[in-house]
Amino acid sequence: MTTLVTGAAGFIGSHLCEDLVRRGDNVVGLDCFLGNYDRQLKEGHLTRLAGETRFELIEAGILDADLRSLLEGVDRVFHLAALPGVRSSWGQTFADYLTHNVMSTQVLLEACKRARTQRFTYASSSSVYGETSGLPMREDSSTSPYSPYGVTKLAAENLVRLYHRNFGLPTVCVRYFTVYGPRQRPDMAIQRFLQAARDGTPIRVFGDGDQSRDFTYVGDIIDGTYCAAVTGQLGGVYNIGGGSCVTLNELIALIEAVSGVHLQVEREEAKPGDVRSTEADCSL
């Protein structure tokens, strides 16, 4: 089995590449090394794959790559490449989100349609649900994004479904809920809070801290993504969540208990696009 993984050097993508290689796949990793955080960190994500004969890294963006050649002999695609971040998606940067999250997805879908790819799995986000009191969030719940980032992820989801319905491309979408674990991005809350505990620096909390998230360990994300790709209903969408909701205040208390360090909290106003709560219904 030969598999293409886009966003291969990212937090989740690098874990997925390792998992697929362990399962015996030949993996082609595609990554353009976006400058949203330190390139050296992304290169470090791939350390365990260095010298692995069943892994090949291609540095290119989806819009620049020779997808026709790249997809030759590829059986399935995991499309994880995206520009992440809710708060940074406002204003002029929205054009970048459209390019990396929507246009790139459409171009890749076109290429997979021509190549008759056997399975296309798209990594979406709980951000497609937006602000809602209807918890837990079910796959058939209404989708009303609360941020420009969420808008682009939902637009890409809709493209994926369109290519399944109109052209029969075998697709599955998975919606990730607040992923954490080794290699997570430096801007993410758990990473920032742990670093502050280590360095003795203050942390910023936007809002009252009672907003909650369905934190999901990256290993569970990988297992769920693979399961959906292999056994999921074609054209379907699946939540992948951690099964419990934790407020930021509870997270801070937990880190203080584990580290033995009292965190200095600087509170600021809630930011546009930040929803109050997320909770995944994973009963499908």
Give the pLDDT of residue 23.
98
C-alpha distances in Å from residue 163, one per residue of 6, 7, 102, 187, 222: 18, 21, 14, 33, 24
Within a 13 Å sphere around the CA of 273, how many CA atoms are in the beta-carbon half?
15
Cα distance from N-terminal residue to C-terminal residue, the chain:
27
C-alpha to C-alpha distance for 148 and 142, rounded to whole angstroms: 17
C-alpha to C-alpha distance for 22 and 19, rounded to whole angstroms: 5
Q: Which domains does the chain have, with CATH numbers?
A: 2-178+215-240 (3.40.50.720)
Over the stretch 25-55, which tens digit does the pLDDT of each residue have?
A: 999 999 999 999 999 999 999 999 999 999 9
Give the pLDDT of residue 133.
84
Q: Which of 136, 132, 112, 114 is nearest to 122 (CA)?
A: 112
Over the stretch 56-92, which tens digit does the pLDDT of each residue have?
A: 999 999 999 999 999 999 999 999 999 999 999 999 9
C-alpha to C-alpha distance for 6 and 227, rounded to whole angstroms: 18
Give the pLDDT of residue 244.
85
C-alpha to C-alpha distance for 30 and 143, rounded to whole angstroms: 30
Over the stretch 103-127, which tens digit does the pLDDT of each residue have?
A: 999 999 999 999 999 999 999 999 9
Contacts of 221 (CB under 8 A, 6+ apart): 12, 15, 176, 179, 240
The mean pLDDT of 227-243, rounded to a whole number, is 97
Over the stretch 153-177, which tens digit does the pLDDT of each residue have?
A: 999 999 999 999 999 999 999 999 9
C-alpha to C-alpha distance for 184 and 180, rounded to whole angstroms: 6
C-alpha to C-alpha distance for 158 and 152, rounded to whole angstroms: 10
Whole-model pTM: value is 0.97
As annotated, the active-site residues are 149
